Structures are given as C-alpha cells and as structure tokens.
C-alpha cells in the first residue's frame, strides 16, 4: 500500500445514488480528519481541463504590470475582492510572504443578501478571465457541497443538514502567485496560520506547503498527481466540538515559481457556528460565522487595518488570529 505524508480519501462515490456508497466516503473522511487536519482527496468529479485553464488565466493575469493589476486593487472593491499586491496581507507584525493574489468571493447581486465578503466582485478588464475563474469556482463549489453532506453524515446528522446554510456563503477563491526567487530563504514561523472557515480545497502547481505535525514540527506536504489537498478550518473545529482540529500551516519559500488556488468554504454569513452532533458538553462558545471571518480578514489585510485604525471600521467580538488549532481542550471564545 502506498504511503503518504497525509491520509488520502477517494470521494468519487459522493456522486453515487447509493446512500451506502456516500456513507462509506463519509466514514473514510471522518477517519482522515480525526487522524490529521490535512488530507489528500481524489475524485472522478475533478474536471482537469478547468484546472489547466485556471492556471493559464492566472499566469496571464499576474504577468501584467503592477499599474494594470492595481486597477482592480482589493481596497477598491465592495466585497473584499480583487488584486492583492505583495505586502498587503500580513499574519505577523512587520512580516509578509513574497506573494500576490487575486481574490474572488461569492458573486451575489441580491441587495437584501449582501454582507461583507458577499456582493459583486471586482474584475479586471481581461477577456475570458472572469468566465474561466467563475467556471472553476462553481465546479469546486459543487464538490465542496458534496463534502458538506459527507461531514453531516460523519457527525451523525441528516445528510442535508448544511444545505439550508449554504445559500449565499462568503466562500472565497484565491489565485495566488509566488514569483520565482533564486535567493529564497525560509524563516521559521512566517505565514503560520489556520484557515478561518469550515474547510479548504487546494490545488497547487508546485510544492511548498508545510503543516504542523502532532509533535509540533513542520512537515512538507508533497504534491500527488490528480489530487487536491483539503484541510479542516476554525469553524469545522467548532462544529465538530473538537473532533476535527484546524491545523496550522504555511508556505515555505521555495526557489521556483508557484501558483496555488485555495477555495475556502463557509456557511452563510449570518449562520451561527456552534458544536453540533456531539453528545459531549460543548467545548466552544457559539460564533457568528460571517462576523468571525470578516474580523479575521480585517486583522490581516492592510487596507482594512487602516480602516480599523481610523475608526471607520469597528470589529465586534474579534478573537486573535491564533485562537484555533492544536491547543489544549477547553471552552474558547
């Protein structure tokens, strides 16, 4: 049997009409998520042609000059979407990763449903870019919603438990570019974080991802052909009452160009995140899902930090960025 640094789960049968087939995947998913906060997934659902088109669109977009890219600067958007220049995003004081990104949120034009992170996206004037990026978003979103149903089964709930909470979620796709850097030298701890949402599905073109093992050491996560990498995030840690744990991770500096495409899956902005499906006493306090996500985002991006500092943006009940992942049990805000 082939050994991997992370568990590998084949999710192909989540497409099956057989409940027993879907339940078997849910059990495999549960075992993998208990064992590790990160895993590989493989599925017949994956449309590799969409993956390849996304890479080509990203390469063409990031190859443009800074002046052109800054026309769609994220600070100009209504829903935290658009271009993220190098240095905009910081997980620690005075430190940042050498990367640039383009962020895409749920593109909702229904005024009554708009919230921070939900609304019309800011798009560049680049033929075909919006169409191919949204096609990939919708494709991976569909797979993610199958996984939400698998998580419901894994947690002892009705399979459709999450369906009602996935109408207009602030689930974000990031197109991230790490430029070629022949002098790249890694520094311990830079960029270490957990993801804020329920779970993440990641497609990348080169290695560099590292996760913290149970012994506290950084572990390299190699790429495996025709798989995506999946990880548990803050909100699923809460909902599972700590059965699954959000795992800290980072991208180490590698001496090659790298593109990565994480899609971060959330429930609806106003959905309250709390332990579900557990017979144990709740180990976490309820959390306003969208508010938590926006608060964490505002503690990371410079244009939002400036709004907070000026008093233009007030954060309610914000928790520190390192509040989740590999901690001692206990009630956490």
**Does the pLDDT value for residue 331 go beyond 60?**
no
Where residue 256 falls among pLDDT bands split at 50, 70, 90?
confident
Q: What is the DSSP letter of 96?
A: -
**What gap in Å lies between CA 36 and CA 211, rounded to an integer?**
10
Give domain status of residue 103, yes or no: yes
The pLDDT of residue 19:
98
The crossing angle, in degrees rounded to 10, of helices 48-62 and 129-154 is 130
DSSP H helices in 36-128: 48-62, 66-69
Partners of 218 in the β-ladder: 212
Give domain status of residue 266, yes or no: yes
Helix (H) or strand (E) holding 8: strand 8-10
Give domain status of residue 325, yes or no: no
Give domain status of residue 276, yes or no: yes
The CATH number of residue 100's host domain is 2.60.120.330
From the centroid of its chain, how far is CA 303? 21
**What gap in Å lies between CA 198 and CA 324, rounded to an integer?**
12
Give domain status of residue 107, yes or no: yes
Residue written as tokens 């789960």?
9
The pLDDT of residue 326:
46
Question: What's the number of domains the chain is made of?
Answer: 1
Q: What percent of the chain has pLDDT over 90?
A: 64
Give domain status of residue 318, yes or no: no
**What gap in Å lies between CA 189 and CA 191, rounded to an integer?**
6
Give domain status of residue 71, yes or no: yes
**What gap in Å lies between CA 129 and CA 32, rounded to an integer?**
35
* Domain limits for position 162: 8-310
**Does the pLDDT value for residue 330 go beyond 50?**
no
Give domain status of residue 238, yes or no: yes
Separation in Å, CA 271 to CA 7, 166, 193, 283: 30, 9, 23, 19
The first and second tokens of residue 155, run together, are: 């947690």
């Amino acid at each position: 049997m082939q050994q991997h640094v992370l568990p590998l789960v084949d999710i192909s049968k989540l497409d099956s009409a057989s409940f027993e087939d879907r339940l078997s995947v849910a059990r495999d998913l549960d075992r993998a998520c208990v064992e590790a906060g990160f895993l590989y997934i493989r599925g017949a659902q994956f449309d590799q042609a969409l993956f390849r088109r996304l890479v080509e669109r990203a390469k063409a977009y990031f190859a443009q000059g800074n002046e052109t890219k800054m026309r769609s600067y994220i600070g100009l958007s209504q829903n935290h979407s658009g271009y993220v220049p190098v240095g905009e995003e910081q997980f620690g004081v005075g430190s940042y990763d050498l990367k640039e990104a383009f962020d895409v949120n749920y593109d909702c034009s229904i005024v009554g449903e708009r919230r921070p992170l939900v609304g019309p996206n800011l798009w560049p004037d680049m033929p075909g870019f919006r169409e191919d990026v949204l096609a990939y978003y919708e494709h991976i979103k569909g797979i993610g919603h199958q996984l939400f149903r698998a998580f419901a089964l894994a947690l002892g709930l009705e399979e459709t438990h999450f369906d009602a909470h996935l109408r207009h979620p602030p689930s974000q796709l990031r197109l991230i570019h790490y430029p070629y850097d022949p002098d790249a030298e890694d520094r311990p701890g830079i960029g270490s974080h957990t993801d804020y949402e329920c779970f993440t599905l990641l497609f990348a073109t080169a290695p560099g991802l590292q996760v913290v093992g149970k012994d506290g050491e950084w572990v390299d996560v190699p790429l495996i052909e025709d798989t995506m990498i999946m990880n548990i995030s803050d909100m699923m840690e809460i909902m599972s009452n700590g059965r699954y744990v959000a795992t800290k991770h980072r991208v180490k500096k590698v001496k090659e160009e790298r593109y990565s495409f994480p899609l971060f899956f959330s429930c609806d902005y106003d959905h309250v995140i709390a332990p579900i499906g557990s017979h144990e006493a709740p180990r976490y306090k309820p959390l306003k899902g969208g508010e938590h996500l926006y608060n964490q985002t505002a503690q990371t991006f410079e244009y939002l930090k400036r709004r907070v500092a000026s008093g233009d943006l007030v954060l309610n009940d914000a928790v520190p960025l390192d509040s989740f992942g590999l901690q001692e049990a206990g009630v956490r805000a």
